[in-house]
Amino acid sequence: MKKAYILGSYRTPGCRANKGKLRNIRPDDLAAVAITGLLERTGIDPATINDVYLGCSFPEGDQGMNIGRVAAMKARLPDTVPGQTVNRFCSSGLQSIALAAERVMCGFADCIVAGGVESMSSVPMGGMKYSANPDLMVDWPEAYASMGITAELVAEKYGIDRLAMDTFAAASNAKAAAAIEAGTFGDEIIPVEVTNNMLVDGKMKSIKEVVSVDDGVRPGTTVESLAKLRSVFKAGGPVTAGNSSQMTDGAAASLVVSEEYLKKISKDPVARFLAFSANGCPPELMGIGPIAAIPAALKLAGLKQDDLDLIELNEAFAAQALAIINTLGLDPDIINVNGGAIALGHPLGCTGAKLTATLLHEMGRRNLKYGMVSMCIGGGMGAAGIYEKL
Active-site entry in 90, 111, 281, 350? 90
What residues have CB less than 8 Å from 115, skipping those under 6 apart? 31, 34, 35, 38, 53, 54, 55, 93, 96, 97, 251, 252, 253, 254, 350, 353
Q: How many CA atoms lie within 13 A of 171 on its CB side?
A: 15
Q: How many CA atoms lie within 13 A of 4 on its CB side?
A: 30
Q: Please provide residue 337's backbone torsions phi and psi, each rounded to the nearest 5 degrees.
A: -65, -20
Active-site entry in 56, 346, 350, 361? 346
What residues have CB less than 8 Å from 333, skipping those under 6 apart? none
How far apart CA 114 and CA 105 sit, in angstroms, is: 15
90 is catalytic: yes
Active-site entry in 15, 111, 350, 376? 376
SS3 114: strand
How far apart CA 373 and CA 382 sit, in angstroms, is: 11
The string of DSSP letters for 337-367 reads TT--HHHH-B-GGGHHHHHHHHHHHHHHHHT
How far apart CA 331 and CA 340 sit, in angstroms, is: 15
Q: Tell me the C-alpha to C-alpha distance, in Å, between residue 174 and each of 171, 245, 340.
A: 5, 15, 10
What residues have CB less than 8 Å from 254, skipping those under 6 apart? 6, 8, 9, 10, 38, 97, 100, 113, 114, 115, 353, 356, 357
Torsional sign, CA 9, 54, 313, 33: positive
106 is catalytic: no
281 is catalytic: no
CB distance 345 to 250 below 8 Å: yes
**Residues marked as catalytic:** 90, 346, 376
